[in-house]
Amino acid sequence: MHKITLDISTSPHLVKGLSTDTIMKHVVYALLPAAAFGVYAFGLNALLVMMATSVGAVLTEHLLCKYSKKESTIGDYSALLTGLLLGMTLPPNFPLWMALFGSVVSIGLGKFIFGGLGNNVFNPALVGRAFLQATFPVAITTWYNAFAPDRFYNVSSSVLAFPFMQPKVDAISGATPLSALKFDGVMTTANDLAFGFINGSTGETSALFIVIGGIYLGWKKMLNWRIPISILLTAFLLSGIMYLIDPTKYPTPFFTLFAGGLMLGAVFMATDMVGSPITSMGLWVYGILIGTLVVIIRLWGGLPEGVMYAILLGNAATPHIDNLIKQRVYGTSKKIAS
């Protein structure tokens, strides 16, 4: 983008920056490997759930724009991204009607009610997921085993549950590495975790593909590397300390990194530009806060997983972080009075 030749022109002197839809488009691309692995691991069920949330999110955005007499914003890929992210954080056997419901909440309550893209306080996909977690706590913690032999031609009856009716659990439900640890003290090996041979939400199981997506975005400068690095580093160090204190009670730091939604959250959710602070210093504070919360919730909380709540709390703290860490105005010695 930098030109060596000297251009002489009148102001404004602007370089064409990255537009919203380009960034969103690339984030969707970066998510695809992990999503594809999810489909490979969990089969048709996972594909249907992700399609339901994506279509639901785009449709909701379109209808809400139409109803409020605004220009439709579905062309900027942000609704598609929200829908896809939501689908990836759900269990692969999640009932479709609940998934659709969640995507409506994501866009409607998570984004539109604040005034659309750029004004939302929280990551919309996580708002949808938090709502589903509180509304249907049983369905969202029912996990089917990955790599079932009939996964490519058999759709589970729980996925096709009739709207507003309870899903029937028809397969053996398996434990995720986190719930296995929390409730039964069973540790999953680091290899299985890194490559994704485990149970869990559709998009969170393969740490490898998520990291590849993250590196792609970092290379394209569409992702601020400070956020994932600070979150993962904090979580690693804190759980490392706890592991050193009592290895029989606490998981290894590698387990903390690769189990559950930490990777997906750190790379794709906490990095949402709208919900994260602007200054570099602020980003570090934000990342450390989320990393600490994840470890605290996982080790001492009632739930096995805490990434979702940690990021939502991080989002909530963002305006305050920005307020506290303000850029010094050039030429003055004091911070801008607030």
Partner 1 sequence: MSTIPQNKSDKGFFSSLANHPNTDEFTRGLWRDNPVFVQVLGMCPSLAVSNSAINALAMGLATAFVLLMSNILVSLLKDFIPKQVRIASYILIIATFVTIIDYVIQAVSIDLHKNLGAFISLIVVNCLILSRAEAFASKNNVSKSILDGLGMGLGFTFALLCIGSLREIFGSGSLFGYEFMPSNFEKWVIMVLPAGGFFSLAFLLLIFNYFKLKKEGL
Partner 2 sequence: MSHSQNIEINTASSDKKMLIAMGGIGIICAILIVLTYETTAPMIEKNKAEALERAIFKVLPDITKTQAYQLNPDNTFTKSTSNDSKLPKVYGGYDDAGKLKGIAIQANGKGYGEVLNILYGYDPMQQKIIGFNVLESKETPGIGDKIEKGTFPDNFKAMDVSLSDDGSTLRNEIITVKQGEKTQKWEIDGITGATVTSRAVGNILNVSAKQWLPKVYKNVNSFTVKTAEQ
Q: Which of 137, 146, 157 is nearest to 41 (CA)?
A: 146
Contacts of 264 (CB under 8 A, 6+ apart): 34, 88, 89, 201, 203, 204, 210, 307
Q: Supply 108's token pair.
A: 């409607």
* Separation between Cα atoms, residue 107 and residue 102, nearest integer Å: 9
Scanning residues 83 to 112, which ones bind partner 1 (CB under 8 A)? 98
Scanning residues 282 to 311, which ones bind partner 2 (CB under 8 A)? 302
Residues in binding contact with partner 2, number by CB under 8 A: 9
Confirm or reject binding of residue 118 to partner 2 (CB under 8 A). Answer: no
Residue pointed to by tokens 């709390």: 313
Contact letters (x/-) for partner 2, 165-204, by CB under 8 A? --------x-----x---xx--------------------
What is the closest distance, in whole angstroms, from the C-beta atom of residue 99 to partner 1 in the complex? 13
Chosen residue from 1, 4, 8, 165 binding partner 1 by CB under 8 A: 165
Which of partner 2, partner 1, none does 12 bind, CB closer than 5 to 8 A by kind? none
* Separation between Cα atoms, residue 196 and residue 215, nearest integer Å: 18
Residue 164 · residue 142 · CB < 8 Å: no
Residues in binding contact with partner 1, number by CB under 8 A: 12
Which of partner 2, partner 1, none does 67 bind, CB closer than 5 to 8 A by kind? none
Q: Which of 239, 257, 276, 268 is nearest to 24 (CA)?
A: 268
* Separation between Cα atoms, residue 259 and residue 206, nearest integer Å: 9
Q: Phi and psi of 240, rounded to 5°?
A: -65, -45
Q: How many CB atoms lie within 10 A of CB 225?
A: 16
CA dihedral 271, 199, 162, 109 (to 10 degrees): -20
Which of partner 2, partner 1, none does 157 bind, CB closer than 5 to 8 A by kind? none
Rounded to whole angstroms, what are the CA distances from 260 to 31, 204, 298, 331? 17, 6, 10, 47
Which of partner 2, partner 1, none does 165 bind, CB closer than 5 to 8 A by kind? partner 1
Q: How many CB atoms lie within 10 A of CB 78?
A: 29
Chosen residue from 118, 137, 247, 319 binding partner 1 by CB under 8 A: 137
Confirm or reject binding of residue 164 to partner 1 (CB under 8 A). Answer: yes
Confirm or reject binding of residue 280 to partner 1 (CB under 8 A). Answer: no
Which of partner 1, partner 2, none does 108 bind, CB closer than 5 to 8 A by kind? none
Confirm or reject binding of residue 115 to partner 1 (CB under 8 A). Answer: no
Contact letters (x/-) for partner 2, 125-164, by CB under 8 A? ------------xx--xx----------------------
* Separation between Cα atoms, residue 206 and residue 263, nearest integer Å: 9
Which of partner 2, partner 1, none does 167 bind, CB closer than 5 to 8 A by kind? partner 1
Confirm or reject binding of residue 139 to partner 1 (CB under 8 A). Answer: yes
Beta bridge partners of 143: 174
* Chain contacts with partner 1 (rule: CB under 8 A): 98, 131, 134-137, 139, 161, 164-167
* Chain contacts with partner 2 (rule: CB under 8 A): 137-138, 141-142, 173, 179, 183-184, 302
